[in-house]
Structure 1
Amino acid sequence: MPEQINAAVPVPVTDGTPLSAEDAKLVTLARSSRARTGAVEGAAVRDQDGRTYAAASVALPSLAVTALQLAVAQAASSGATKLEAAAVVTEASTLDGSGHAAVRDLAADAPVHVAGPDGSLLGTVL
C-alpha cells in the first residue's frame, strides 16, 4: 500500500466553550495514554455505541503511526462503523493530517478536539 501524505490541519482557536463531559473524557484518556508511554501524542475516539479507544503515537524503526490513526484503527478493528468524536493531546499547533484523514474515513462531521499536554483545549477541528 503506498504511503499517503496528508498535510497538517490548522486548529482554530477555541471560543472558550467548555467541552461536554463525554468529550472531556476523551481528552483525559488521550492525556493518560500520552503520559503513560512518554509519547509525542495521545489520542482517544468515541464510536457510535459510546465505546472509547485510546492510543499513543508509535515510532519504531519499522512502523510509525500517529496516536489518532492508532485510536481509529482500534475502533475499526473492534467493529466501529462511525465515530462521534475524537481528541488529540499534543504539543503541536496543528492537527496531523494523517490522523485527521483516518477520523474522516469513519465520520465526515465528527469534531476532533486538540488539547495541550496540560489538557487545556487549544481548539476543535470540524
Structure 2
Amino acid sequence: MTEPTRTGAQAPAELSAEDKKLVTLARATRVRAGAAEGAAIRDADGRTYAGATVDLPSLRLSALQVCLGMAVSSGVKALEAAVLLTEADAPDPADLAALAELGGDAVVVHVGTVAGALHSSTTA
C-alpha cells in the first residue's frame, strides 16, 4: 500500500522496467538541454518521447508539453505513462489535462526531482 504525499498523489510503487526507462530518458534529456524540467511519455504502442523545458523569450513550453507535441505530431492516439522531473511538487494542472486528452484517466504520471528520485505518482 502506498501512502499519500502532501500533494494528494500517491507515493510511487515499484516501477516497471518500461517506467524506469522513462525516468532515464527524462533525466538525460533535461541534463543534455540544461533545462529546468525533463519529461518522457510512452504511448500505447510502446514508443517513447522525451523532452525538456523550452524557455525562449518568444516561446515557453513545459517539458510535458514538448513531449505531447512530439507525440501528437507523430500521430499518437493513446498514452500509457509519463515521467516529469521537476523542482515543482506536482505537474501543472494544464499539463495533466492535456495528458488526459490522449490517455483518459489511465495515464500514470510519476513525478520526481530533477536528479531522478521519484516522490509521487498520480493519474491524469
- Cα distance in 2, alignment partners of residues 66 and 114 from structure 1: 14
Instruction: Give the 4+ runs in structure 1 shifted more than 3 A.
Output: none
Structure 1 unmatched runs, 5+: 1-9
Alignment of 1:18-37 (within 5 A): 18-37=14-33
Q: How does 1:41-120 map to 2 (within 5 A)?
A: 41-108=37-104, 109-120=106-117
Question: TM-score if structure 1 supplies the norm length?
Answer: 0.86
Normalised by the size of structure 2, how large is the TM-score? 0.87
Judge conservation of contact 1:11–1:122 (CA < 8 Å) in 2.
Answer: no
AA aligned to 2:100 is: R
Q: Which amino acid is the alignment partner of residue 67 of structure 2?
A: A
Runs of at least 5 residues in structure 2 that lack an aligned partner in the other structure: 1-6
Corresponding residue of 1:3: none
Higher relative contact order (CA 8 A, sep 6+): 1
Aligned length: 116
CA deviation map 1:6-52 (0-9, x unaligned): xxxx462515x211110111111011111111111000000111000
